[in-house]
Every structure is written in structure tokens, then in C-alpha cells.
A and B are shown apart, each in its own frame.
Chain A
Amino acid sequence: MRTKEKMIEWVMMACSFITVLTTIGIILVLAIDTVKFFQEVSIVEFFTDTQWTPLFADKHFGILPLLSGTLLTTTIAILFAVPLGLTIAIYLNEYATSKFTSMVKPILEILAAIPTVVYGFFALQFVTPFLQTFIPDLRGFNALSPGLVMGVMIIPYITSFSEDALRAVPGSLREASYGMGATKFQTAFKVMIPAASSGIIISVILAISRALGETMIVAIAAGQEPNLTFNPKESVETITTYIVQVSMGDVPQDSLEYRTIFAAGMTLFLFTFILNNISFWMRRRFQNKYE
């Protein structure tokens, strides 16, 4: 009996250890080929060359065009989603009736459940033609429309997390503010948001991390041209799109071209890993402030 109990415990422990192995696996897999990549390409070229053409005859290995594409689409998504998501969170928390909130929140969360390939279709087939009626020189593949659609996708992350953070602010703070004769608007912006700021920042960081790693929306609607540009009307390529593009082609394994996806993947992984750790650290640090 005892040994059986112990064995079950060991098996379950081994299962939880798989998650650690996964992380080690990701880091090793990325690191090994990234190191091999940098044995052939100088790290200086990687970060300073303004062209990314590993699949052409004239090869350049500058990650900057992919980075600018990634940051451009992410910035558009964040600029769209943060004000919108935060305003909705404040509205649901401070103004709306609880019945309205309980109806709207689950509907908004559907946005996060929609497969991203669907958003890609929507961006390419609906949003881009729609935007072109206002912006005639918008290219068929551009950074703007996938960026906006990515923003739509991350609205529920921001709304949900921010709303939870606002909800966690003790009611006494709000009542004190009302007691001073403040309006709901003043209470929301001068009391509630500052009080919930750590939770709101965490939601924004998670949303940025999610947008950086998003693949299908940009793969479908942003074009696959690595352009070093910050013009949202141009077509761009993101790190994630490049990885998919190479995987779908006939690049021979163990070639330099093949290793580019590991170097690109490592760059992406480091970005999101750092952001996730900041948000985790913040959660630890600020969570218990009001408890």
C-alpha cells in the first residue's frame, strides 16, 4: 500500500517535471542552432544590417526589418486595444449595471477564442478593402489592418484583466472619493485607475507579449516582405511570419538558411520571456497590497 502510494506520487511528480523539461527543451533547441548560426554570421551584422534576405542569392542577415515589422504591428495593436479595452473596463466597472457587465464580458471574451486564422481572413478580406476607401494608397498587404485586427483580438485580455484589477480595489476607496463629492469620472481616473495601476500594467504587458508572438493574422494580411519601415501603409514581415514562411518552403535542413529560423525564434522568445517575467514579478510584488 505504502509503496503504491509513493509510486503514484513519483509518477505525478514526473508529470509536473515535464513542464520544466519543455522549457529546457525550448531553450536548448533555440540555443544550439542559434550558436551555430552565429558561427557563420556575425552578431554585429545580425543586429545592424538593414536587409533580411537569407533566401536570396545575395544574402543579408539583418534582423532589423523583421523587428521593425513585428514592433510596428504590435504597436498598432496596442495603440488600438489599450485605450479601447481600458475605457470598456472602466465603463463596465464604474458605470454599467451589473447585468449589462455580466452580459458584455462573456461576449467580449469570444473575441479571444476566435482562431487567429479567422482574424487573418477578416483583416485581408474585409478590413483592408474597407480602409482602402479612406486611405487610397494603402497597399493590399499592409501593417495597419493586421495590426488593428490584432488589437481587436487582444481587447478581451486588457478588458478582463483590467476589470479584475479595478474590481479588486476595495470599495472603501471609491466611497471615500464619492464622499468628497467626486464624480464617477473623477473617481475612476483619480482613484480607481491609480489604485489598480499594477494590474492594468500587467494586462498591457501580457497583451504586448501576445501581440509579439501572434502569427497567422500577420502571415495572412501583412504580406511577407521584410521591410525596414515604420510606415503602416507598407507591407511588412514579422519574426513569426518569417518562421512560418521558411518552414513551409523547401529550405534544406542543417543549412544556414534553415538556422535563421532559430536565430529569429530566439529573438522572439527572449522578448516575450522578458515581458512575461516582468508581469509575473509585478504580480508577485503588488498583488497583496490591498489584502
Chain B
Amino acid sequence: MSKRKKSPARTKDKAFKIVAFCLTIFALSILAVLLIDIFSRGMSRINWSFFTNLPSRHAERSGILTALAGMLSLLFFTIIIALPIGIAAGVYLQEYSVKNRFAKFVEINIANLAGVPSVIYGILGLQLFVRLAGFGNSLIAGALTLALLILPIIIVATREAIRAVPNSLREASYGMGATKWQTTKRVVLPSALGGILTGIILSISRAVGETAPLLVIGALVYVPFIPEGPRDQFTTLPIQVFNWVSRPQPGFVLNAAAGIIVLLLITFLLNGIAIYIRNKWYKRIKY
């Protein structure tokens, strides 16, 4: 009797196990298909001149020099703006602020900002930096926009890293007569550095792939020059890819695939570094 009753449940269990395993493999294979598809299309286009050529009307002569240069300059400015502000805000919220209504409000607000679609940040940047501040469609307007976009990520990562620093360290520092800031600067921040760094790299990797907000603030899709200063116009690699994807000629599809390979390698490299730092730091620091 009991054996008969059990049996269908066991079959169901077995069946689900097999189906679920297949679905897991299916999800993984989508990633594989995506990578294989893009690499098999674009690899032939990757050569030295692809990196050193300016964009061109002719697909086979087009390169990503200006897109790469624009992207690197943009990231440079984004980081020097977002980093100090993000870390300072994270330190303040975790180490200093008393748990009052205001702190709670700021916390909810940051969680909300992290969920605001990036295209909305584009609208904000367009009105605030491009028009009101008069920066035009410049690198600096793009960098400020992206900085606001990645700020929540840096703040959350900083707070989490600081939270992991054990209180005994702080108390030891206070016991030696150190002030709050001295303790923060010399004890808490160095111990939290690994986590903060991981968050920063992940936020850079996020900024690398952003396209929509930059299109909204008016980043150009065709830039035949390398930006020389923060007030110059610019383009980035994802925008260059977007431009190529939207063209019907097959030559540009190849270019887009090749540009995507470069973009993916940069993204994976950054994520890899972040994972490496996280693992290394967790192994090294044992309290």
C-alpha cells in the first residue's frame, strides 16, 4: 500500500530533477551560444588596424580608435568624480551617521536610485549638465551623468566592506587614543579596501557597458577625432557598436561583432579582476 502511494511522488521527483538539470544547462548554453555566435562572426575583423583606424563610411576601413579613446577618457573622469564622493558617502553612512529617520531615508533613497532606469539618468544629465550647466554634449557632461549612475553601487559596496570590519579593531584604535577620523582612516578603511575595490571595479564595468544615458545626453555616433579635453565631444565603444548594428550592410554587422568582442573582453576582464580581489581578500584577512 505505502509503496504504491510513494511511487508516483518519487517519479515526479526524479522527473523534476532531470528537467531542472536540463533547464540549468539550457541557460548556460544560451551564454555559450551568444559567445560562439559573436566570436565566430567578429574574430576575422579583429586586427591591428581595427584598433587604430578612425570610423569610416566603408565598413572594412572602420576602426574603434575614437570609441576606445572616448570610452577611456569618459571612464577616467567618471571615476575621479564618483570615487571620492561614493567612498566618503559610504563611510559617513556606515561609520558616522546615527540611525535616525534621516539615515533611514537616505538608505531607502539609495536603494531606489539603484533601481532607476539608466535612460532616466540620461534625461537628468541632459537637463542638468548639458543644458543648465552649459557643458554641451561633452565628455564632462557624460562623466557627471555616469558618476551619478554608479554612485549608489560604490556607496553600497563601501558600506558592506566597512560593515565587515570587526568592532574589536575600532575599539583597539580608540583604546590607543586615536580619534574617530584617525581610526577610520588608518584602521577601518585599509581593512575594508578589498571590498571597496571590488565594488569600484564592478561599477566601472557597469559604466563601460552603458549606452542609453549617453545617447540621451547627446554622445555622438560618429566622431572622427580623439577627444583632447573634458569639453570635447565624444563617442564610446557601445555607442559605436549600436551605430554599426543599426546599419543594414553586412560589413557593418561584422564590425559590430568585432567591437562587441573587444567590449566583452573588457567587461569580463574587469569582472574577473573583481572576483580575484574578492577571493584573495577574503582569504588573506581572517580576524
Contacts and interface: CB of A to CB of B under 8 A. Distances in A.
Q: For A13, A16, A280, which residue has the most chain B Cβ atoms within 10 angstroms?
A: A16
A183 B122 CA distance: 51
A243 B116 contact: no
B65 interface: no
B93 A16 contact: yes
A104 interface: yes
Interface residues of B, number: 88
Interface string B107-125: 0111111011111111110
Q: For A4, A108, A243, which residue has the most chain B Cβ atoms within 10 angstroms?
A: A243
B281 to A, nearest CB: 17
A36 interface: no
A5 B209 contact: no
Interface string A1-38: 10011001101110111111011011001100100000
Given A215-B117, A265-B119, A16 B27 contact: no
Nearest to B87: A15
Given A1-B179, A25-B128, A84 B23 contact: yes
A155 interface: yes
B179 A185 contact: no
Contact of A15 (B89, B180, B263): B89
Q: Label chain A's interface by main secondary structure.
A: helix
Contacts of A216: 211-212, 238, 242
Contact of A115 (B123, B127, B238): B238
Q: Label chain B's interface by main secondary structure.
A: helix
Given A115-B211, A118-B264, A248-B215, A16 B97 contact: yes
A76 B57 CA distance: 37
Interface in A164-210: 181, 183-186, 206, 209-210
A91 B113 CA distance: 32
A273 B253 CA distance: 37
Contact of B24 (A88, A116, A185): A88
B116 A29 contact: no
Contacts of B271: 110, 113
A58 to B, nearest CB: 26
A107 B148 CA distance: 29
A236 to B, nearest CB: 16
Nearest to B246: A220
Interface residues on A, range: 35 or more
A111 B252 CA distance: 25
Contact of A155 (B27, B218, B256, B267): B27
Contacts of A4: 181
Contact of B92 (A15, A108, A277): A15
Interface stretch (B13-21, B43-51, B226-234): B13-21
Contacts of B179: 1, 5
A7 to B, nearest CB: 10
Contact of B216 (A91, A185, A244): A244
Contact of B253 (A29, A125, A247, A262): A125
Contacts of B33: 126
Interface of A: 1, 4-5, 8-9, 11-13, 15-20, 22-23, 25-26, 29-30, 33, 84, 87-88, 90-92, 95-96, 104, 106-108, 110-111, 113-118, 120-122, 124-126, 152, 155, 181, 183-186, 206, 209-210, 212-216, 219-220, 240, 243-244, 247-248, 253, 261-262, 265, 268-269, 272-273, 275-277, 280
14 contacts: A9-B92, A19-B89, A20-B106, A26-B123, A33-B127, A91-B20, A95-B17, A96-B24, A215-B211, A243-B119, A244-B216, A247-B122, A248-B215, A269-B120
